[in-house]
Amino acid sequence: MITLNINGQAQEVDVEGDTPLLWVLRDTLRLTGTKFGCGMSLCGACTVHVDGKATRSCMLPVSAAVDKEVVTIESIGDSQVGEAVQEAWQRLDVVQCGYCQSGQVMSAVALLEENKAPSDEDIDNAMGGNVCRCATYVRIRAAIHEAAESLA
Amino acid sequence: MTRHIENESRRRFLKGSAGLTLALYMPWSMAQGTGSDGTNGAVETQDFEANAFLRIDEDNNVTVIAKHLEMGQGTYTGLATLVAEELDADWSQVQVESAPADASRYNNLHWGPNQGTGGSSAIANSWEQLRQAGATARAMLVTAAAQQWQVPAEEITVEKGVVKHSASNNEASFGELASAAAGLPVPSDVALKDPADFTLIGKRIPRQDSADKSTGRAVFTQDIHLPDMLTAVVAHPPRFGAKAGSFDATKAREVKGVVDVVEIPSGVAVLARDTWSAKKGRDALSVEWDEADAFTLGSEQILERFQALAESPGTVAEQRGDVEATLSEAAQTLDATYDMPYLAHAAMEPLNCVIQLTDEGCEVWNGDQMQTYDQSVLAELFGLEPQQVRINTLYAGGSFGRRAAKKADYILETAHIVKAIDGRAPVKLVWLREDDMRAGNYRPMFHHRLWAGLDEQGQLVGWRHRLVGQSVAEGSPFEAMIQDEIDPTSVEGASNLPYAIANFQVELHTPSDIGVPVQWWRSVGSSHTAFSTECFIDELATETEKDPVAWRLEMLAEHPRHAAVLKLAAEKAGWESPLAENEDGGRRGRGVAVHESFNSYVAQVAEVSVSDDGQVRVDRVICAVDCGIAVNPDVVKAQVEGSIGFALTAVLYGEITLTEGKVDQSNFHDYQPLRIGAMPSIEVHIVPSAEAPTGIGEPPVPPLAPAVANAIFAATGQRIRRLPLGDQLAS
């Protein structure tokens, strides 16, 4: 048994230690908001926060998440920044197919937690690991600026 | 909250499976749930099921039944808008639910007796149908109110979900009238609104799916969990046409969580309790592939074959005047070749599907794009009647044409696995990114050759366009569209080139000995024909020293909608004034293209910067679009933005290549998607129109590649005749 701290709750899971955190979240804990896209940390669909840092969960062995605080899309709206980002996302209708958007939101929140007024360049750097094949990038950029303003 | 069951299919679904547990993972779980009395059973109420597209419950919820797949294009929002407009509903009371698979009610009116989504047809084919659905329900609500209040129906108004009779001071919500309306006869001749009275159509209406997709609550196929479900990951052969010879599953079966290993026609499937165990099991398999029928050519050899074919005349797809004589007598002739590679769709959600055999037949959970066809192939495999195949159409995490699988490949693969285990458990097939990338059904590779004849005045008098590439319609449910050896989707955009050219011929070679499976990819034939035609026109303009916009306009006198978007894009881009220089040096250029597809007209002006070492950056794209009435201008804008980003991926990086029959690419490191830093700024201008709506999901894709290539020429003097750009400009 491995004990994890997911969204502020202790969770005991019976999985092999090499299982990526992504599959523990999705298949074991049924927290399916975090998505599988590439399995190689190339697309960011699986982004969660580990001790506050945006982290690709598809290549992180679950054993490496022990004793760390893991936050997923399911609870990010509980934080002030998370709520602001999700509201901006909805005001600007950022989403299209939506599959990558959990990861986009998680990366955007991590950015705004560190940088209260990111420039376009800051956004491009922080969000460069999150692929959107629908190419909603224009609105992602705008929504991050809008969330930053709403938090200011 | 009142609970209700909307239709027969869901009732059976709940009876035949695990009720509430399952419902938690269903998109319609919002409408289902534990009631105030604490029970979770099904209770019938007096819902007003006005027609196949609309249900109003006593809680005043208006539920629109969407017959089309929502894959990002915003169709749930658009379809609901059509109903809500004529119903005069308040947008906040409107919700959307996916239709069951039933072509008798939910067929695509552009596809005959088939339910499905594609060809940018969702709003276009639903335009009359769904407004009628809303208007009919409105009329019944008004009749119900008139009877209750004993007033003339003509004096009743409906606004934002409120039915009102001012003189008698009566008003009611839709929910309050639902029961009464449900008992009324359905009127047959209901008038639709004058467009001047639209309150929702043409306005910015928030998307239906924004909240669920911004919070991780939206349910995709990947998210389905059924009791006792097994997850399958498949070892696929390394070459198209190969199959499993023998395999050793000893090590795979030793992996904790692995339950079974079965051979299926498309490979060897490992079934496990969870995805990661299935993947580990798949990786532990040892398979000897039988490659007797495998396709073993590389993409360079395919290109050589295409080039050889282009030396001889093809089957004539379109002809007017005498091209041969014109070209031989012309004052000046030019010719050029253009090459476009295979492209993967690479949607963010890798392909997947869930199938369960039930007492009644079979049940499918899938971001399903061709329900009627998929029902037929599954029915055939399982020995069922098509209507025994129930499809729960979920959100698709992108498709770009891929989920309209022309031979239902991933769906059939799931079904074969279910069959191989005698249906003893529901199966979720998960393709890993590598499976998705290498499974074929690509946008076909195309080789184009064009010849032009100019007279002494530089007028374009002759045009010959020869295309070489595989047919996407061949072997598909749409095969009947191939007439006289011409797949119209191979030449669309080329055979209907709008320019006034007296002598004109389009020829097609369709090689049938290439074993790479091909399929429609966002904008289909126009994804390659716009590139070659609009680049070649630009080359001719340069050759004759004409302005690319003015010259096109001269030749578009008979095509006012093309001309209008071209003029608008040029004007908004400041075409007449020089492009500002970059502060950091580097060359800049501006290029233009115009193209019609799916009855929508799109012109784009691209502005690019090219660094000294040949790096191209698209800075800005100005787009003008005429898609008839823009039902939701903000969704139209979003589709333009997304299409430009999608098309730019193909311009900059997109390429599936093969070496000795094996696909070289596997994941996003070698099949690069556009990332946020390369996204240009985009301006969208929608031409006001009173015409019926036409497509928008695909039409903004085609003009981008030629506009960018023409801009690169303007910046560098170098013609781009091969996609992707890659490092062609590197010095």
CATH number of B299-342+442-716: 3.30.365.10
Sorted by where each begins, the domain ranges of chain B are: 46-214, 221-293+351-430, 299-342+442-716
> B181: which residues sit within 8 A by CB, 6+ positions away?
B48, B50, B56, B137, B140, B141, B143, B144
Of A10, A43, A75, the position where a domain reaches its end is A75
What CATH class does B46-214 carry? Answer: alpha beta
**Predicted confidence (pLDDT) per residue in A93-138, tens digit:** 999 999 999 999 999 999 999 999 999 999 999 999 999 999 999 9
Give the number of residues written for chain B: 731
Report the CATH fold assignment for B221-293+351-430: Aldehyde Oxidoreductase; domain 4 (3.30.365)
CB B35 within 8 A of CB B1: yes
Distance (Å, whole) CA A66 – CA B504: 70
- H or E element at residue B685: strand B681-686
Quick check: A150 contacting B, CB < 8 Å? Answer: no
Average pLDDT over every residue of A73-100: 98
Least confidently predicted of B99-113, B141-155, B572-586, B626-640: B572-586
Q: Which of residues 44-103 of A touch B (CB under 8 A)?
A: 45, 72-74, 77, 86, 89-90, 93-102
Task: Using the Cα atoms of residue A90, residue A91, residue A97 and residue A102 in order, give the sign of their dihedral.
Answer: negative
CATH number at residue A48: 3.10.20.30
What's the pTM?
0.94
Model pLDDT, residue B582: 83
Q: Which residue of B has its CA nearest to A142?
A: B681
Residue B731 confidence class, pLDDT cut points 50, 70, 90: low
Query: What letter does residue B653 receive in the DSSP assignment?
Result: T
Last residue of a domain, one of A75, A104, A128: A75
CB distance from B343 to chain A under 8 Å? no
Read off the pLDDT of residues B38-68 as tens digits, 9 standing for 90 and up. Answer: 333 344 457 999 899 999 999 999 999 999 9
| A30 lies in the same domain as A83 | no
End-to-end CA, chain B: 68
Q: Assign 3-state DSSP to chain B and report helix, strand, coil percentages, each to 5.
A: 30, 25, 45
Which residues in chain A touch residue B398, judged by CB atoms under 8 angstroms apart? 97, 99, 133-134
Same domain, A81 and A147: yes
Q: Which residues does B220 contact at the CB level (< 8 Å), separation at least 6? A: A35, A99, B349, B367, B394, B395, B396, B397
Query: In this structure, are A69 and A17 located in the same domain?
Result: yes
- CA B379, CA A37: separation in Å to the nearest integer? 31
Q: Does B668 touch chain A (CB under 8 A)?
A: yes
* pLDDT tens, position by position, B94-147: 999 999 999 999 999 999 999 999 999 999 999 999 999 999 999 999 999 999
What is the DSSP annotation of B10-23?
Answer: HHHHHHTTTTHHHH
Q: What is the ipTM score, two decimals?
A: 0.99
Nearest Cα to Cα of residue B351 among B230, B437, B279: B437
Residue B668 CA to residue B347 CA, distance in Å, equals: 11
Spatial separation of the C-alpha atoms in residues B295 and A114, rounded to whole Å: 52
The answer on pLDDT for A43 being more than 90 is yes
For the CA atoms of A70, A73, A77, A80, the dihedral, rounded to the nearest 10 degrees, stands at: 50
B189/B191 Cα distance (integer angstroms): 6
> Per the structure, how many domains does chain A have?
2
Closest CA to B340 of B535, B532, B618: B532
Copy the structure tokens of residue B499: 């320019």
Beta-bridged to residue B462, according to DSSP, are: B453, B503
What secondary structure letter does DSSP report for B89? -
Which of residues A75, A93, A121 is at a domain's end?
A: A75
CA A100 to chain centre: 10
Among the listed residues B14, B31, B21, the one whose alpha carbon sits nearest the alpha carbon of residue B98: B31
Instruction: Give the pairing of strands B258-264 and B267-272.
Output: antiparallel
Show the domain range for A101. 76-151
User: B617 phi and psi, to 5 degrees?
Assistant: -125, 125
Which chain B residue shows the shortest CA-CA distance from A32? Answer: B223
Residues A88 and A67 in one domain: no
